[in-house]
């Protein structure tokens, strides 16, 4: 029986010769209750390879059964930036470099976090940059320019996000734009907001009726090699908290922000340290997803950074990296998926298709 089905699907594939849509049976497609989207900023295939070979040939990212590639270009440049890249994932539209959750006419477009909230789902954001930096910003804010950090911070008050962790506290409480104290305003809205302490994370799992914001730095958090270690734990505790927060399900975006900064710095060890930190977070999320069986886990990047390559002279455990640029590149970007609906993520597709697939799988039928 199975063999016959396989033969039929192979014939269909050969007959059409097109996309992965022909191989996915939408009648039997399982839908996830929850989605965790992990974005390694600037994480191309070489960044993953460097982390792998620097780590005794083992990464958690090897645990994913489904792998695809996305086309990362933006609306105005073959080489995307993180703002347009994240807006494609968050809102499903290609836009111009620098845009945060707005289209090419600078008009706001709904993001998946807002749509998940309307649907009754719990939501979370974690980053190892400031929480108003381009990648997390595109999931919560709408702004024509990514550098408008204080404006972006005010957009946190317009949502009902349940849990966020990242740097950039100064954009909330030491503002130049106005004299608002957004931390007091968040508290007035029912949030528990504090500087990040590891011990605080234990209480969030037990307090599903509360909302939490944790600031890990006034500006950018330190690098993974210099005392920053919160990403795996904040991811683990965040998932456990969001699981209990809503019966409908949850959406969370977790960013390994500084893999990209290692690329900009043309610093192989920086990339490897950040890659391994991000991979630990991936492992913690996968462990929990395997237990609950209802969570789709997607790992991807917005773009590659550095034109990074592993050159001759490299050995297992010692990577000789070379770079072609201190900026981003236009390579296809890998996508890894695990859990209900993961099969939709095989093949080659636009970066905006990641949004389309997530919205389809969660049944968030909102037109925009
Ligand atoms: Mg980023
Ligand atoms: Zn970058």
The mean pLDDT value for 301-329 works out to: 98
Distance 106 CA to ligand 2 centre (A): 22
Question: Does 340 have pLDDT greater than 60?
Answer: yes
CB count in 10 Å sphere of residue 287: 13
Find the 134 Cα to ligand 2 centroid distance in Å: 10
Residue 366 tokens read as: 């909102």
Q: Which ligand is nearest to the CA of 327?
A: 2
How much distance in Å is there from the Cα of 135 to the middle of ligand 1?
Answer: 4
What's the pLDDT score for residue 19?
A: 44
Measured CA to CA in angstroms, residue 7 lies from 1, 4, 16, 342 at distances of: 10, 5, 14, 22
pLDDT band at 161 (very low <50, low <70, confident <90, very high): very high
Q: Which ligand is nearest to the CA of 254?
A: 1
Ligand nearest to the CA of 41: 1
Query: What domains can you pick out in the chain, each with its CATH number?
Result: 33-362 (3.40.720.10)
pLDDT band at 200 (very low <50, low <70, confident <90, very high): confident
pLDDT digits (tens, 9 = 90+) for 4-15: 444 444 444 443
pLDDT for position 206: 81
Neighbours of ion ligand 2 (CB under 5 A): 260
Neighbouring residues of the ion ligand 1, judged by CB less than 5 Å: 41, 82, 135, 257
- The pLDDT of residue 201 is 87
Q: Cα of 146 to ligand 2 centre, how many Å?
A: 12
Mean pLDDT of the chain: 93
Distance CA 258, CA 280 (A): 14
- pLDDT interval class at 16 (50, 70, 90): very low
Neighbouring C-beta atoms of residue 292, cutoff 10 Å: 13
Residue 17 pLDDT exceeds 70: no
Mean pLDDT of the region 12-20: 42
The 10s digit of each residue's pLDDT in 48-57 is 999 999 999 9
Give the model's confidence band at 227: pLDDT under 50 very low, under 70 low, under 90 confident, else very high.
confident
Residue-wise pLDDT for 118-145, tens only, equals 999 999 999 999 999 999 999 999 999 9
Question: How far apart are the CA of 8 and the centre of ligand 1, in A?
Answer: 43
Residue 194: what pLDDT? 95
Count of C-beta atoms within a 10 Å radius of residue 219: 11
Q: How many Å lie between the centroid of ligand 2 and the Cα of residue 218?
A: 21
Lowest mean pLDDT among 22-36, 192-206, 338-352: 22-36
**Residue 163 β-bridge partners:** 124, 212
Among all bound ligands, the one having the nearest atom to the CA of 258 is 1
Confirm if 68 and 345 have CB atoms less than 8 A apart. yes
pLDDT of residue 367: 53
- Please tell me the distance from the alpha carbon of residue 234 to that of residue 230, in angstroms, as a whole number: 6
pLDDT > 90 fraction of the chain, expressed in percent and rounded = 88
What band does 23 get if pLDDT is binned at 50, 70 and 90? low
Distance 41 CA to ligand 1 centre (A): 5
pLDDT: is 23 or 58 the higher one?
Answer: 58
For 230-239, what is each residue's pLDDT tens digit? 999 999 999 9
* Contacts for 92 with CB less than 8 Å, ≥ 6 apart: 109, 352, 355, 356, 359, 368
């Amino acid at each position: 029986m199975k063999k016959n089905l396989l033969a039929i699907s192979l014939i269909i594939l050969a007959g059409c010769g097109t996309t992965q849509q022909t191989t996915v049976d939408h009648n039997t497609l399982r839908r996830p209750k929850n989605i965790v989207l992990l974005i390694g900023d600037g994480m191309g295939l070489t960044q993953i390879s460097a982390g792998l070979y620097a780590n005794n040939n083992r990464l958690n990212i090897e645990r994913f059964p489904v792998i695809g590639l996305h086309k990362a270009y933006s609306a105005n440049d073959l080489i995307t930036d993180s703002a347009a890249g994240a807006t494609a994932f968050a809102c499903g539209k290609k836009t111009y470099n620098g845009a945060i959750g707005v289209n090419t006419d600078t008009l706001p477009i709904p993001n998946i976090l807002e749509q998940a909230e309307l649907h009754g789902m719990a939501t979370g954001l974690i980053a190892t940059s400031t929480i108003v930096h381009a990648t997390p910003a595109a999931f919560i804010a709408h702004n024509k320019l990514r550098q408008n950090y204080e404006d972006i911070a005010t957009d946190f008050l317009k949502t009902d996000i349940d849990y966020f962790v990242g740097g950039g506290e100064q954009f909330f409480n030491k503002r130049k734009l106005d004299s608002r104290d957004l931390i007091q305003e968040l508290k007035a809205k029912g949030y528990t907001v504090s500087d990040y302490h590891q011990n605080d994370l234990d209480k969030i799992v037990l307090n599903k009726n509360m909302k939490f914001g944790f600031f890990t730095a006034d500006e950018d958090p330190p690098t993974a090699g210099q005392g920053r270690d919160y990403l795996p734990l904040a991811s683990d505790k965040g998932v456990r908290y969001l699981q209990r927060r809503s019966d409908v399900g949850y959406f969370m975006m977790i960013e390994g922000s500084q893999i990209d900064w290692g690329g900009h710095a043309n610093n192989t060890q920086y990339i490897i340290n950040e890659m391994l930190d991000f991979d630990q977070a991936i492992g913690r999320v996968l462990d929990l997803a395997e237990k609950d069986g209802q969570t789709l886990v997607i790992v991807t990047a917005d773009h590659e950074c550095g034109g990074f390559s592993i050159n001759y002279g490299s050995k297992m455990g010692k990577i000789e990296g070379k770079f072609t640029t201190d900026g981003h590149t236009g390579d296809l970007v890998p996508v890894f998926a695990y859990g209900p609906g993961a099969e939709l993520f095989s093949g080659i597709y636009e970066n905006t298709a990641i949004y389309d697939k997530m919205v389809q799988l969660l049944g968030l039928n909102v037109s925009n």
